[in-house]
Amino acid sequence: MHLRKTRHGSRLALGAALLSVAAVGPVVATAAAEPTRFGTVDHETILIKAEKVIVRPGKVLENAQVLVEDGRIVAVGAALEAPADAQVIEGAVVCAGFIDPWSGLGLSSSAITDRNTSPATRSVDAFDRYQSAHALGECLRTGVTSVRVQAGMSSPIGGVGAVVRTDPEAGSATAVVLADSNAAAAIGVTSRGRATDVFDRISQVDKLRDTLEAARKYREDEVEYRHELTAWQEEIAKEEEKLEKGFKKAKKARDKKVKDAEEDGKEFKEKKYKEDKKPRLPKYDADKSMFARVVEGELPLVVTAHRVAELRELLQVTEPFGRLRLVVAGGTESLTVADELAERRIPVLVWPAPLGTSVSDELDGHDLSLAGQLRAKGVKVLLGSGGSANSRDLPLFAQLAVGHGLDAEAAFAAITYDAARALDVADRIGSVQRGRDADLLVLSGDPLRSSTQVRYVLSAGRVVVSPNE
């Protein structure tokens, strides 16, 4: 790589080059290339020794070790020996890397505000790891190792969200944790982050209902087609057997008829054959196919809604879809419907934004105690950065929520284990267990304490932050 610092050089150099070629040209400083790892991944063996390993919220091992090999956690225990070639890291506390379940980091603004997204639009296609390398690096330093990015956040039906790693140099094998973590919708939010008027809101609710119903119908049609096809195939197989058996007889009859026709000087006509029509495959529709998975509960549906009227309607519309896994994002006035949310086990994704942060609803201010109050009513709470590029500050948001009544363990769970479970990535990240990807933090103290330093960060087994950086 030829890296040159700007001086007056370039124009002059050009002139020189043109005038005398073979020529001397300017001296090119071949500065040492910074290693980039796009396309390749380095894996190392690392043993982390810690006074405290937080396996997952509520389960802590004292004086334990975590062994990392080839990007995965291969052992967690109390008396692990370091393999000969292992790098040994020591620290006070080890826990899973933080996950921001509500981010817009690394997405081009056109993808975030794209109003033409449909359910099959994939957010991962809009994630720019190269241009946002700096912002991603900042996330790593505060311990945020993965984020859920969402394109078309303000369109009534958004695209498919994705959980991606924040390591700017992640290779193609590790960059994406899950390319289809969720479907998304919004009620009462426009592209400018302001509330829509009441009619828009009604049409957004209708659109969501229609989409869900059409998807259910699509799935039903598919199933019905398969049944009909099987029945038809069975029938035809029987028919064919019968025809095979009767062929000799039919041939004789035909030969006779041909002969008769010839003798009579008439034209021979074949017998008309009829059979049941084969059932037709329903026309493929990527959007409906995608939402059919949502209706079946294969993917969670994250719906941004703030006001109580919107939340009530949302709850009503989704009620008939028993398998649907709804997540409410925002939920500024969700306390009013907290009982139903708790009963239906619908998590609320809250953004405890500090004053002065531009927020995505007209209420212009998030009650920092919302998370704590929802939790007190038995609602599962997740914490995120509101679909902004502020994922770096996720630990700060969690601290604010703790300072306003959310218990520390719930806050920690909200940005690790619970977030991973809500987005179906708990088998990969969100806890320090054998077999999980090694997205780990080595901290100087308890997580979510403002005095705690992030000393090491591992992303898919690679040390991406270390104290001497």
Restricting to residues 52-111, which ones interact with other proteins according to CB under 8 A?
108, 110-111
Residue 383 contacts residue 411 (beta carbons within 8 Å): yes
Q: Tell me how far, at minimum, the Cβ of 180 lies from other proteins, in Å.
A: 13
Pick 59 or 278: Cβ nearer other proteins: 278
User: Please, which residue, 228 or 240, has the CB nearer to other proteins?
Assistant: 240
32 binds other proteins (CB under 8 A): no
Q: Are 359 and 366 in contact (CB under 8 A)?
A: yes
- Say whether 96 sits in a helix, a strand or coil: strand
Q: Considering only CA atoms, which of 86, 163, 96 is closest in space to residue 123?
A: 163
Of residues 379 through 418, those in contact with other proteins by CB under 8 A are none
DSSP state, residue 78: S
Hey, which residues between 132 and 171 contact other proteins (CB under 8 A)?
134, 151-152, 159
Pick the stretch among 69-77, 122-130, 426-434, 455-463 that binds other proteins (CB under 8 A).
122-130
Maximum distance among all Cα pairs of the chain, rounded to whole angstroms: 108
Work out how close the CB of 21 gets to other proteins at its nearest, in angstroms, rounded to a whole number. Answer: 4
Considering only residues 219 to 238 of the shown chain, the ones binding other proteins according to CB under 8 A are 236
Question: Which stretches of 177-197 are DSSP H helices?
Answer: none
Terminal Cα distance for the chain, rounded:
23
d(CA 432, CA 163): 18
Beta strands in 107-143 (DSSP E): none
- Coil/strand/helix, residue 321: coil
Choose the stretch contacting other proteins; rule: CB under 8 A; options: 33-41, 341-349, 360-368, 407-415: 33-41
Smallest gap from residue 215 Cβ to other proteins (A): 17
Tell me if 192 contacts other proteins by CB under 8 A. Answer: no
Which two tokens mark 458?
A: 């591992």
Least distance between other proteins and beta carbon 47 (Å):
29
Angle at alpha carbon of residue 285, lines to 284 and 286, rounded to 5°: 115
What is the C-alpha separation between 130 and 57, in angstroms, rounded?
34
Closer CB to other proteins, residue 235 or residue 319? 235
Task: Decide: 292 and 318 in contact? Cβ < 8 Å.
Answer: no
Among residues 194, 238, 254, 345, which is the contact residue for other proteins, using CB under 8 A?
Answer: 254
Touching other proteins, residues 256-275 (CB under 8 A)? 270-271, 273, 275
Nearest in space to 387 (alpha carbons), one of 99, 104, 92: 104
CB of 223 to other proteins, least distance (A): 19
User: How far, in Å, CA of 197 to CA of 324, rounded?
Assistant: 27
The site for other proteins, by CB under 8 A, has a size of 73
Decide if 442 contacts 94 (C-beta within 8 A).
yes
Which residue in the set 194, 238, 252, 259 belongs to the binding site for other proteins (CB under 8 A)? 252
Minimum CB distance to other proteins, residue 336 (Å):
35
Question: For strand 325-330 and strand 300-305, is the pairing parallel, antiparallel, or unpaired?
Answer: parallel
Choose between 110 and 358: whose C-beta lies nearer to other proteins: 110
78 vs 253 by CB, closer to other proteins: 253
> Per CB under 8 A, does 18 bind other proteins?
yes
Q: Helices 198-264 and 286-295 sit at what angle, rounded to 10 degrees?
A: 120
Cα 319 → chain centroid: 24
Q: Report the distance separating Cα 423 and Cα 302, nearest Å.
A: 10
Q: Which is nearer to other proteins, 251 or 345 (CB)?
A: 251
Q: Which of 8, 39, 79, 322 binds other proteins (CB under 8 A)?
A: 39
Interaction with other proteins in 284-303: which residues (CB under 8 A)?
284, 286
Sheet strands side by side (includes 59-69): 72-77, 59-69, 46-56, 87-96, 440-443, 454-459, 462-465
User: Nearer to other proteins by C-beta: 123 or 145?
Assistant: 123
1: contact with other proteins by CB under 8 A:
yes
| Residue at 61: amino acid letter | L
Nearer to other proteins by Cβ, of 117 and 145: the residue is: 117
Least distance from other proteins to the Cβ atom of residue 120, Å: 6
Q: How far is the CB of 99 from other proteins (least distance, A)?
A: 21
Q: How far is the CB of 255 from other proteins (least distance, A)?
A: 8
Q: Which two tokens stand for residue 84?
A: 């000969």
Is residue 249 a contact point for other proteins (CB under 8 A)? yes
Nearer to other proteins, 85 or 244 (CB): 244
Does 445 contact other proteins by CB under 8 A?
no
Report, in Å, the least distance between residue 266 CB and other proteins: 17
**Minimum separation from the CB atom of position 330 to other proteins (A):** 22
> Would you say 59 or 247 has its CB closer to other proteins?
247
Of the pair 207, 209, the CB lying nearest other proteins is at 207
Which whole-number Å values give the CA distances from 157 to 9, 313, 315, 385, 419, in the listed order? Answer: 52, 16, 16, 20, 22
* Dihedral (Cα; 15, 19, 20, 24), 10-degree rounding: -10
Question: Based on CB atoms, which residue is closest to other proteins, 197 or 270?
Answer: 270
